[in-house]
Amino acid sequence: MRKITPVLMSGGAGTRLWPLSTQARPKQFHALGGEHTLIQETALRFTTEAFAPPMVIGNAAHADLTRAQLAEVGVTASALILEPVGRHTGAAACVSALAAVEAGAELMLLLSADARIADPAALRAAVALGATAAEAGALVIFGITPTGPETGYGYIRAEAGDEPVRKMAAFEEKPDLATAKAYVADSAYSWNAGIFLFSPTAFVAEAEQIAPDLIAAARTALAEAERDGDLVRLGKAFRGVPSVAVDVAIFEKTDKAMVVSADIGWSDVGAYDALWAEGAKTAAGDVAQGPVIAVDTANNLAISDGPVVVLAGVEDLAVVVENGVVLVTRRDAPGAVRAAVEAVKKAGREDLL
C-alpha cells in the first residue's frame, strides 16, 4: 500500500469549551483529561510504517505552539501551513491537497486535530480498507458507527449493500431526536466526523470541476505564500478564499464519494457534557480536574487551574476556572456557553477570549 500523508486541520476555535479553550490556546492544544493534548494524540495515531510524516494546517498564531507540542511527542511535521485567518475546511482541504501534490504525496488523510479516538488501531484498519478505493480515484469519507441518537452531529447515508466500502448517497443535516433514532436503527446511516482519504491529485481534479472558484483561490494563496523551511505562511490572498465546509463544497456534489464504516470510538470532545461523559467519575457521578471539594452533589464537571472549587448541593453543572475566568453553566448546555462568549464580546472583554 502507498504511504499515506496525514493532514491535521488545526484551525478550530473550540468555542463551546470556553474559557478552557481560548483563541490563544484552543482545545486541540489541551489534554482534556488525557495523557497528551488532542493534537498530540492525533499525530501519534499515525506513527506507523503505513504513514508519512504529517502536514498541519492551522492558525498562524499557533505556529510555535504546534511545533512545540508535536516535538514533545517526537513528531516532526513535513509542513506547517499557516493561515492568517480561518476560512473553514474547504479552504484547508484545497490548500493542503495542492501542497500534497507539490510534495508528491500519493494519498492524504484529512482530519481534524481536535477529536478523540478511543481505538486508533480500528481507525488505521479502516484507512487501510479505504485505501484501495482512494487509489482508484474515489474520495473516501469515514462514517462513524453511532453509539446513540445524537442530534448534534451530521449524518452520512450510504447506498444499500453489505460491502465494507459503499457509494455515498447523501449527507443529512443535524436531525431532531426522532429522526436521529431512525438513523441509528438503519445501518445505512453513520455520523459524519469529517475524516477523508483521497489522492490529492484526484481531489484537486474534482475540485476544478465542481468548485473551480475555491480551488483557484486556494492555488493563488499557496503560490503567493512565504516559505521558510517547513513553514508555509499563506499571505493576503488567502483572505479571499471562499469560507465553506469541504463537505458542502466537494463531497455533497461529487459522484466519486465512497463511505467506509468505522467503529473507532470517535468523539469531537466539543462540549463540557462530552468531557464529563469521558471523565473518571466519583461515586456521585462528579468529574473533577484540579482542586475540587464536593459535598451532596451529583453529575457535575469541575475544572480548575488553581483556585479551589467547592461544590455543595448542586447537580448537572459545569464549573470551569481558567486564566482568572469562572464559568458556571449547565453541563449539558453548549448553546449557553456560546451565548456567554457572545456576551463577553458585547461587554468589550475580547481579552478574555
Alpha carbons 242 and 92: distance in angstroms, whole number: 11
- Global pTM value: 0.92
Instruction: State which residues form the domain around 69.
Output: 4-267
* Residues 275-297 pLDDT 10s: 999 899 999 999 999 999 999 99
| CATH number, position 134 | 3.90.550.10
**pLDDT higher than threshold 90 for residue 187:** no
* DSSP state letters, 63-126: HHHHHHHHHHTT---SEEEEESS--HHHHHHHHHHHHHHHHT-SEEEEEESS-EES-HHHHHHH
How many domains is the chain partitioned into structurally?
A: 2
Query: Do residues 171 and 195 both lie within one domain?
Result: yes
β-strands 139-144, 189-198: how paired?
antiparallel
Query: Do residues 41 and 73 both lie within one domain?
Result: yes
pLDDT band at residue 1, thresholds of 50, 70 and 90? low
Query: Do residues 151 and 285 both lie within one domain?
Result: no
Alpha carbons 155 and 172: distance in angstroms, whole number: 5
Query: Do residues 175 and 86 both lie within one domain?
Result: yes
Domain boundary among 267, 299, 328: 267
* Residues 18-73 pLDDT 10s: 999 999 999 999 998 888 999 999 999 999 999 999 999 999 999 999 999 999 99
Domain boundary among 267, 299, 316: 267
